[in-house]
Amino acid sequence: MQQVRIGVVGAGVIGATHSAVLQQIAGSLPGQVELVAVADPNPAHLDFFKSVYGYKQTFASAPELLANADINAVFVCTPTCYHAEVVHAAAERRLSIFCEKPLAMDVAQAAAMVQATEQARVATQIGLVLRFSAVFTVLRDLLRDPRAGRPMAVVFRDDQVFPIRGVHDSAWRADRTQTAGGTLIEHGVHDLDLLTWLFGPVQRLRAWERNLAGHPGVEDYVAVELELAAGLRAQLVNVWHNMIQRPSNRRLEIFCDNAFLATEADMSGSITAQFGDGPEEVISESDVLRRFLASQSNAPHALHDVYGVAYLVQDLAFVQALLSGAPPAPSMRVGLDAQRLAAAVYHSARNNVEVEVGDLSSPATG
């Protein structure tokens, strides 16, 4: 592909994040990236995207954009319930597809989307952005330090205000007909994917859930105990609380035979590290960022927005894969794996059973 010509479907929070970083990428790769068109039923959002990000064409719906815009790649940034129809239509048009997480409303829908894109031989990427986070990339490198020894135990907490007000002022997230579920699938899916990215496949799990806010089918607490094939155990807690002043936050603590690694940041921040009999040390945020960028062969030229670095590197990876003809990663198939893992968590919590996850191709339901 000589030029990536982009259409965005869904001009909300994440559509704006992608647009802001794609604008930077277009500036650093002149003539190779163009922000062409945007679709959204909300005219005010379209006006904003046109004036701020420079989209040339605006459409009131995805079908209109897909029928009329001169694009070869689409970013699917709608509420989760619309991902499938946009992905299927885009695959029919042979467009390259970046789809936001979670991939779909359930495993069957996600599997059909992956099958359609693979049959159409279109390039895909899923928005599992933590794989591009500076702190988690540097943590992953530290885990490979031979001094660390075997990973033994992980404690992972992820909390966020129930995302129907504040930054995520989106009523659809409390409506089970539009969201794939609650805190686990809509937010914790990042954490499930991160655990497999850091430590490999999950063998079995046991989970519990609660629904305190009372939105039907949209849980706000999930706890999971996971046993990974590599032998370690991980505990994950996802919470959607009601404190609007509290920013979304993750805390991850990892014990290996000879190492303790911890962070309270999920994009950019410091890491605490202790090896063997040595003292606990803090790797500062700027040092983490420096190490992260040094590890990226496609390091971005412009870094205007530190929070957005993960999104910048993520979208740059997609764009550069399309320009070079390499398959983007993580693909939508990785999104399907994460969706299956989340389904296994729900199955465990709802049926009060331990679930063998070894074979993710046998979908857990309900």
Residues that bind ligand NAD (CB under 6 A): 9-15, 39-42, 45, 61-62, 77-80, 82, 100-101, 127, 129, 168, 170, 186
Question: Least distance (Å) from ligand NAD to the CB of residue 112?
Answer: 17
Of the pair 58, 78, the CB lying nearest ligand NAD is at 78
96 in Cβ contact with 72 (< 8 Å)? yes
Q: Nearest distance from residue 352's CB to ligand NAD, in Å?
A: 28
Nearer to ligand NAD, 13 or 326 (CB): 13
At 301, list the tokens. 């030229």
Q: Of 98 and 255, which CB lies nearer to ligand NAD in the complex structure?
A: 98
Q: Indicate the residue whose CB is closest to ligand NAD.
A: 12
Shortest reach from residue 61's CB to ligand NAD, in Å: 6
Taking the least distance from each CB to ligand NAD, the nearer of 120 and 164 is 164
Residue 51 zone, left/alpha/beta (φ > 0; ψ -120 to 50; rest): alpha
CB 182 within 8 A of CB 211: yes
DSSP class of residue 186 equals I
Contacts 24+ apart (CB under 8 A), 294-297: 295/137, 295/138, 295/141
Task: Pick the closer one to ligand NAD by CB: 16 or 138.
Answer: 16
User: Strand, helix or coil at 329?
Assistant: coil
Q: Whole-number minimum distance, CB 155 to ligand NAD, in Å?
A: 22
CB of 325 to ligand NAD, least distance (A): 25
Q: Are 105 and 181 in contact (CB under 8 A)?
A: no
Between 148 and 185, whose beta carbon lies closer to ligand NAD? 185
CB of 72 to ligand NAD, least distance (A): 19
58 neighbors 7 (Cβ within 8 angstroms): no
CA distance 87 to 198: 28
User: Who's near 274: CB < 8 A, 6+ residues apart?
Assistant: 259, 260, 261, 280, 281
